[in-house]
Amino acid sequence: MNNDFAHLTPSAADLLSEPSEKRIRAIKSRRWILYPRAKQALDHLSRLIDHPRGTRMPSVAVYGDSGMGKTMIMERFRDDNPPGFDPGTGRERTPVLAMEMVGKPGERRFYAELLALLGAPQSPRADIVQMEQAALRLLKAVASRCLSSTRCITSSQVRIGTNGSY
């Protein structure tokens, strides 16, 4: 490595020999910068994902102004807990499901987004109870431990697994 670039990481220094288009694309790409509050949120989420199942599962709300990094924290947490195959059960496991709620959140919208994320076929005539039951079955099947959403959904808008089944 040239001494003029000794202050750069090896990957940044290697990028200097690439064509301009590739360097510009790298500059414009999303970056993760770990700042103290993000680390605190990620540490808390990691403790929650290891919490034993029970009838009253803990939850956390990450809130802040637009552009503060809430979605990036969610994406980082999801990426740190990737899906994988469990050879013991012979099933795919998805510890963290992250969904982005668009528009006005509501119970039907929540379950429709969740079922779509799980790859489930949807019936436009399904009622909310059927959607909830399908979602709970699929969440159990993929061994999900955490459900994350980018919009605030209050308990009065969505009720999921209140009987401790999930």
Is residue 1's pLDDT more than 60?
no
Q: How far apart, in whole angstroms, are the C-alpha atoms of residue 135 and residue 160?
A: 9
pLDDT score recorded for residue 152: 53
3-state secondary structure of 148: strand
Q: How far apart, in whole angstroms, are the C-alpha atoms of residue 9 and residue 131?
A: 49
pLDDT (tens digit per residue) in 24-78: 998 898 878 888 988 998 999 888 888 887 778 787 878 778 888 888 888 899 8
Is residue 12's pLDDT more than 70?
yes
pLDDT (tens digit per residue) in 107-154: 888 888 889 888 888 888 899 999 999 998 988 888 888 777 776 544
User: Measuring CA to CA, how many Å separate 43 from each of 61, 62, 77?
Assistant: 14, 13, 9
